[in-house]
A and B are shown apart, each in its own frame.
Chain A
Amino acid sequence: MENSPRYDDLLKIIQPYLPEDITPNQVGPKSHFVEELNINSAHLVDIVLDVEDKYDIVLENEDMDQMQTVDQAIELIQKKLAAK
Chain B
Amino acid sequence: MDNRVVITGMGICAPNGNNLLDFGKNLSQGISGIEFIPKLKELNFGCQIAGFPKVDQIYIDKYFTKIQQRGLNASGLIYGVIAGKDAWTDAGLQIGEEAEPDWDSGIIFGTGILGVDKFREAIYSIDKGQVRRLGSTSVVQTMASGISAYLGGILGTGNQVTTNSSACTTGTEGLIMAFNRIKNGLAKRILVGSCSDSGPYVWGGFDAMRILPRKYNENPHAASRPLSATAAGFVPSSGAGALVLESLQSATERKAKVYAEVLGGAINSGGQRGGGSITAPNPTAVRRCIRLALEHSQIKAEEIDAINGHLTATAKDPEEVRNWLEALKLNRESFPYLNSFKSTIGHGLAASGSIECVGTVLQFKHQEIFGNVNCEDLHPEIEKEVLPGRIPTKSLAYKPKIIAKASFGFGDVNACVIFKAFKD
Contacts and interface: CB of A to CB of B under 8 A. Distances in A.
A and B from one complex: yes
Interface of A: 16-17, 40, 42-43, 45-46, 49, 61
B66 A45 contact: no
B136 A42 contact: yes
Contacts of A46: 70-71, 135-137
B133 interface: yes
A45 B71 CA distance: 13
A42 B71 CA distance: 14
A45 B67 contact: no
Interface string B130-152: 00110111000000000000000
B396 to A, nearest CB: 50
B70 A16 contact: yes
Nearest to B136: A42
16 contacts: A16-B66, A16-B70, A17-B67, A40-B136, A42-B136, A43-B67, A43-B136, A45-B135, A45-B136, A46-B70, A46-B71, A46-B135, A46-B136, A46-B137, A49-B135, A61-B132
A63 to B, nearest CB: 11
A42 B66 CA distance: 16
Please classify how large the interface on chain B is, using the bins under 10, 10 to 19, 20 to 34, 35 or more: under 10
A43 B66 CA distance: 13
A66 B263 CA distance: 60
Contacts of B137: 46
Contacts of B70: 16, 46
A16 B135 contact: no
Interface in B284-333: none
Contacts of A49: 132-133, 135
A45 B138 CA distance: 12
B185 to A, nearest CB: 35
Contacts of B133: 49
Specify the main secondary structure of chain A where it touches its partner. Answer: helix
Nearest to B65: A16
A46 B71 CA distance: 10
A43 B67 CA distance: 10
A43 B137 CA distance: 9
A43 B71 CA distance: 12
Interface in B27-77: 66-67, 70-71
Contacts of A42: 136
A14 to B, nearest CB: 11
A42 B70 CA distance: 13
Interface in B67-96: 67, 70-71
A17 B132 CA distance: 19
A46 B69 CA distance: 13
Contacts of A45: 135-136
A12 B29 CA distance: 49
B67 A16 contact: yes
Nearest to A44: B136
A43 B70 CA distance: 11
A34 to B, nearest CB: 13
Nearest to B68: A16
B69 to A, nearest CB: 9
A40 B137 CA distance: 12
Nearest to A43: B136
Q: Which 9 residue pairs of A and B lie closest in terms of their CB atoms, listed nearest first?
A: A42-B136, A45-B136, A46-B135, A16-B67, A49-B135, A46-B136, A16-B66, A45-B135, A43-B136
A17 B137 CA distance: 13
A16 B135 CA distance: 15
A65 B92 CA distance: 46
Nearest to B139: A42
A50 to B, nearest CB: 9
B101 to A, nearest CB: 17
Contacts of A16: 66-67, 70
A40 to B, nearest CB: 8
A75 to B, nearest CB: 21
Contacts of A61: 132
Given A16-B66, A46-B71, 15 more contacts: A16-B70, A17-B67, A40-B136, A42-B136, A43-B67, A43-B136, A45-B135, A45-B136, A46-B70, A46-B135, A46-B136, A46-B137, A49-B132, A49-B133, A61-B132
A70 B333 CA distance: 77
A82 B400 CA distance: 75
A46 B133 CA distance: 9
Contacts of A43: 67, 136
A61 B132 CA distance: 9
Nearest to A45: B136
A3 to B, nearest CB: 24
A17 B70 CA distance: 10
